[in-house]
Amino acid sequence: SGVYSSLANIYYEKDKDVEKAMQVYALGRERFPNDLNLLLMETNLFLGESMTEEALENLQQAARIDTTNPTIFFAIGAKYNEVVDDTTKTDEMRQDAFEKAIIAYLKSISLKPDYFDPNYNIGALYVNKASTVISSANELPIEEQKKYDALMEEANTYLETCLPYLEKAHELQPEDISTLVSLKEIYTRLGMLEKMKEIDAKLESQ
């Protein structure tokens, strides 16, 4: 199988011939359907060419071949994450991708609890979700108080849900600015003022 990946790589990297590279991968995959390395090399080509659906299909297959690899599940989550962030997609598609991204990240964390990226990304997904809900609440007319309160409660639930993951991410990479900023936002919104002051101090010392 190494012959196929080497040959495809030459076509792709040296000759910039995507079509030829894809043909070689397809032949290799036909002969060695369970070869994880070949599968992931082909996936990298799909990722490089923005072929999201093909990449996801491959990643799902990789997850079936190797159920213990946290990186594969993180990569699946990250691909669904792109769909969530894609405003050209329908709300339904983005919501479905949101749920699938969370499942993949959680699987990745269950295999490797001290993995920064999925912990941070779960946090970011929920923070963005909360921000969207807060924006909707702020657009309501003044007489829609009940609806406003319900939306703000929903937003707070998202923030409470993601807090342990962002706190874990902070524990794993204490200097990461994005994590600190997200935590400050959450602590402020949830009225956790002592913790907010701690984060403020850390941000100031950066």
Q: Please report, for the chain, how many H helices and E strands are present, in that order.
A: 10, 0
pLDDT of 30? 83
Q: Is 53 exposed, middle or buried (0-12, 13-18, 19+ CB in 10 A)?
A: exposed
Q: Does the structure show a pLDDT above 70 at 60?
A: yes
125 pLDDT band (50/70/90 cuts)?
very high
Q: What is the mean pLDDT of the chain?
A: 90
φ/ψ region of 191 (left if φ > 0, alpha if ψ in -120 to 50, else beta) reads left
pLDDT digit string, tens, across residues 14-41: 767 788 888 887 888 888 887 888 888 8
Element housing 57 (H / E): helix 52-65
Tell me the two tokens of residue 162: 């993601």
Helix ranges (DSSP H) in 86-115? 91-111
Predicted structure pTM score = 0.82
Q: Which amino acid is at 187?
A: Y
DSSP 3-state assignment of 9? helix
CA 58/CA 40 separation, integer angstroms: 8
**CA distances from residue 86 to 98, 151, 158, 182 in whole angstroms, order as listed:** 11, 23, 20, 21
Q: How confident is the model at residue 1 (pLDDT cuts 50, 70, 90)?
A: low
Average pLDDT over residues 92-104: 94
The token pair that represents 92 in the structure block: 């339904």
Q: What is the pLDDT of residues 147-182, one digit of tens each?
A: 999 999 999 999 999 999 999 999 999 999 999 999
53 pLDDT higher than 90: no
Q: Is 86 helix (H, G, I), strand (E, B) or coil?
A: coil
CA angle 53, 26, 65 (to 5 degrees): 65
Q: Between the CA atoms of 42, 47, 50 and 53, what dihedral angle is there, to the nearest 10 degrees?
A: 70
Q: Cα–Cα distances in Å, from 140 out to 34, 82, 146? A: 53, 29, 10
CB 120 within 8 A of CB 176: yes
